[in-house]
Amino acid sequence: MKRISLTQHLVEEQRLHNTIPAELRLLIEVVARACKTISHAVGKGELGDVMGSAGSENVQGEVQKKLDVISNEILLLANEWGGHLAAIASEEMEAIYPIPNRYPMGEYLLLFDPLDGSSNIDVNVTIGTIFSVLKAPEGMKNPTEKDFLQPGSKQVAAGYAIYGPQTMLVFTTGNGVQGFTLDREMGSWIMTERDMHIPDDTSEFSINASNARHWYPPVKRYVDELLAGQTGPRGKDFNMRWIASMVADLHRILTRGGIFMYPADAREPDKPGKLRLMYEANPMAFVIEQAGGAATDGKQRIMDIQPDKLHQRVAVFIGSKNEVERVTQYHNT
């Protein structure tokens, strides 16, 4: 593959499809640059005094790691001054972050999970950053939480960075999914995956099986069929993979197929799920759908859900199209 930089791809994409105006290109480049900084901090580990707990909790009541706080700060500081954003929302912050008055206000809204899978930080397992970009409502002067409450179908860009043996940036602007690998010596993002595609069928699934006793009947029925293997109703064997990092699990699925499930369950029947709609489910659904996959909450397409709050939770069934459709059908019968 010809070595194409991130900037060259964004410029050529604008020429071809007219979907990446200058402000959006700048926004994607700034997010990519921030992810490069986060990758460096993650890679230093104990040498950079970034490991362990920050001694605080986020808005969800989850204990924050030092790298959660550092990554959130990196993304905020990188994006506030460029003039491309009106406001920012983060999984780690209760309220939105309006762009300070000393900087010009742009036309986009940025949401992110600064460090997905952070429970894996201290054991050196792959983690990542997830981001979503929305257009600010027409005529908006003072951004509020309500301005962010748009269905995922309104996203103009979304993607993730994955900090593994290689650091990669994977994203979509609505014309397929492209993957870039960080050339650490040059400091450049170079395209290494073009038009990524998920197979419709798969023999791999991802779910936290320790919660099996709490699953609702449709999920139990579906997973039991997978576990029955060749002698069961599916007539073939399935493998289970579970990393407990959504970015890592979905990157594997994007690369070779599979289905990732994080269902609601009977432990907290009043909660529709564990993952956050705005910071995790919507951006990943956009990427996966653009790669030919599907994403539902068990009942409906995730990107059709009208959010009613910033930190809304949702059940997630995402990945290879035929498997997502099957488990969704079990929920709807």
Here the CATH number for the domain that contains residue 149 is 3.30.540.10
Residue 116 annotated as binding?
yes
Q: Is the Cβ–Cβ distance between 114 and 92 less than 8 Å?
A: yes
212 shares its domain with 125: no
What pLDDT sits at residue 195? 97
Whether residue 198 lies inside any domain: the answer is no
* 107, 134 contact by CB (below 8 A): no
Domain range for 132 is 6-193
Q: Residue 249: pLDDT band by 50, 70, 90 thresholds?
A: very high
Give the span between the Cα atoms of 14 and 22, in whole angstroms.
9
Query: Domains in the chain: how many in total?
Result: 2
Mean pLDDT of the chain: 94
Q: How confident is the model at residue 232 (pLDDT cuts 50, 70, 90)?
A: very high
Residue where a domain stops, chosen among 193, 215, 235: 193
Q: Give which of 298, 323, 6 is closest to 159, Cα–Cα.
A: 6
Task: Flag whether 201 is marked binding.
Answer: no
Distance between CA atoms of 262 and 206, rounded to whole angstroms? 9
Q: Are residues 188 and 245 in the same domain?
A: no
* 245 and 271 assigned to the same domain: yes
Please tell me which residue, 137 or 62, carries the higher pLDDT value.
Answer: 137
Residue 93 DSSP symbol: -
| High-pLDDT (> 90) share of the chain, % | 86
Q: Which residues contact 264 (CB under 8 A, 6 or more apart)?
A: 216, 271, 272, 273, 274, 298, 315
Asked whether the beta carbons of 324 and 295 are under 8 A apart, the reply is yes
- Give Cα separations from 233 to 109, 218, 223, 229, 331 (angstroms): 46, 15, 12, 8, 18
Is 174 found in the same domain as 64?
yes
- CB of 133 closer than 8 Å to CB of 294: no
pTM score of the predicted model: 0.95
* Residue-level pLDDT at 100: 92
pLDDT at 173: 97
pLDDT of residue 9: 96
Please tell me the predicted confidence (pLDDT) of residue 47: 79
Task: Indicate if 227 and 262 belong to the same structural domain.
Answer: yes
Do residues 24 and 162 share a domain? yes
Question: Do 324 and 262 share a domain, yes or no?
Answer: yes
- Same domain? 186 vs 39: yes
Residue 118 labeled ligand binder: yes
Q: What is the pLDDT of residues 38-70, one digit of tens each?
A: 999 998 878 777 666 655 656 665 657 788 899
134 is in an annotated binding site: no
Question: What gap in Å lies between CA 318 and CA 272, rounded to an integer?
Answer: 16
CATH code where residue 215 lies: 3.40.190.80
289 is in an annotated binding site: no
Q: For residues 70 and 139, state if they share a domain.
A: yes
- CB distance 207 to 240 below 8 Å: yes
117 assigned binding-site residue: yes
323 assigned ligand-binding residue: no
Q: Which of 61-75, 162-176, 268-282 has the lowest mean pLDDT?
A: 61-75
Annotated binding residue at 274?
yes
Percent of the chain's residues with pLDDT above 70: 95
Residues 295 and 236 in one domain: yes
